[in-house]
Amino acid sequence: DIQMTQSPSSLSASVGDRVTITCRASQSISSYLNWYQQKPGKAPKLLIYTASSLQSGVPSRFSGSGSGTDFTLTISSLQPEDFATYYCQQSSSAPYSFGQGTKLEIK
Amino acid sequence: DVQLVESGGGLVQPGGSLRLSCAASGFTFSSYWMTWVRQAPGKGLEWVANIKQDGSEKSYVDSVKGRFTISRDNAKNSLYLQMNSLRAEDTAVYYCTRGKPGIAAAVDWGQGTLLTVSS
C-alpha cells in the first residue's frame, strides 16, 4: 500500500502570507494526488485534484503542483477562512490513502 | 443539489455488528463510484472502502478486510457499509462520499455518522 506523508504537521501563519504544504508518496503516483480542506466539525472539501486542477468554486489563491512522489499545495495569500486542516490523498491505487494532515493556525 | 445523508451510527459493543446507510439524491447515483471515509475522534482521515457503479468492483483498506462489506442498491439510491467484529479502533465518524468521474477523489461528502465501539 502507498503511504502519504505531509509536512509540516502544523503551521502558524498570518493573513496575507504565502503558505506551502508538502506531501510525499512512498512510491510514484504520477499526478494522482488530491488536496482537501477540513474545518472543525465539518466534512472535508475537495480543493485540488490530479495534483494541479482546481475544483470548481475553489478560489484561485489555492494551487497545487508536483508529480511522481513530491507534491505541494500553495495558498498565495492567506485569508481568515483558510485556517483549517489540509489533507493530501493519493488516487493512484487502492486503498486511496490520505496524509496525516497539516493544521494551519493563525499566528 | 447533491445530497448524501448517512445514518445507522451509534454505540456498539466490541465484537458487535452494525450497518451504515447513505441515502443519495440530486445526481444519477448509478453513474458514480462511491466511497466510505472515516475519521476517528481528533484524528485524520482514513479511506475505508469503495464500490464501482454496478457493484462489480470493491476495495478495502487492510484494517477492515474480512470484517466490513460495502454494497449499494442503485434502485434505492443507497450505499451501505456492513460492519462486523467491531473493535474499539473502528470508533469514528463515517462519511459517505461521491467520486469525481474518472478520478478517485471525493467531490461530495455527507455530514457523517458517528460509530462508537465500547463496552
Give the model confidence (pLDDT) of A71-81 as tens digits: 999 999 999 99
**Between chains, do B112 and A32 touch, taking CB under 8 Å as contact?**
no
| Predicted pLDDT at B10 | 97
| Predicted pLDDT at A61 | 98
**With contacts defined as CB-CB under 8 Å, which chain B residues touch A100?**
44
**Mean pLDDT for the stretch of residues A36-62:** 98
**With contacts defined as CB-CB under 8 Å, which chain B residues touch A43?**
95, 109-112
The rounded distance, in Å, linking the Cα atoms of B27 and B3 is 8
Question: A-side interface with B, Cβ within 8 Å?
Answer: 1, 32, 34, 36, 38, 43-46, 49-50, 55, 87, 89, 91, 94-101
**Between chains, do B62 and A89 touch, taking CB under 8 Å as contact?**
no
Each of the 119 residues of chain B gets a pLDDT tens digit; together they read: 999 999 999 999 999 999 999 999 999 999 999 999 999 999 999 999 999 999 999 999 999 999 999 999 999 999 999 999 999 999 999 999 999 988 889 999 999 999 999 99
| H or E element at residue A67 | strand A62-67
**Between chains, do B45 and A101 touch, taking CB under 8 Å as contact?**
yes
| Predicted pLDDT at B103 | 87
Among A34, A87, A96, A98, most B C-beta atoms within 10 A, so best to mutate, is A96
Pick the residue from chain A with its C-alpha nearest to B60: A95
Contact status, residue B96 vs residue B108, Cβ threshold 8 Å: no
**With contacts defined as CB-CB under 8 Å, which chain A residues touch B110?**
43
**With contacts defined as CB-CB under 8 Å, which chain B residues touch A101?**
44-45
**With contacts defined as CB-CB under 8 Å, which chain B residues touch A89?**
45, 47, 105-106
Rounded to a whole number, what is the distance in Å from the CA of A96 to chain B's nearest CA? 6
The rounded distance, in Å, linking the Cα atoms of B112 and A90 is 22
Beta-ladder partners of A49: A53
Beta-ladder partners of B98: B34, B108
Is residue A85 over pLDDT 90?
Answer: yes
Omega into A95 within 30° of 0, i.e. cis? Answer: yes
The rounded distance, in Å, linking the Cα atoms of B79 and B62 is 20
Tell me the pLDDT tens digit for each residue of A16-38. Answer: 999 999 999 999 999 999 999 99
**Between chains, do B47 and A97 touch, taking CB under 8 Å as contact?**
yes
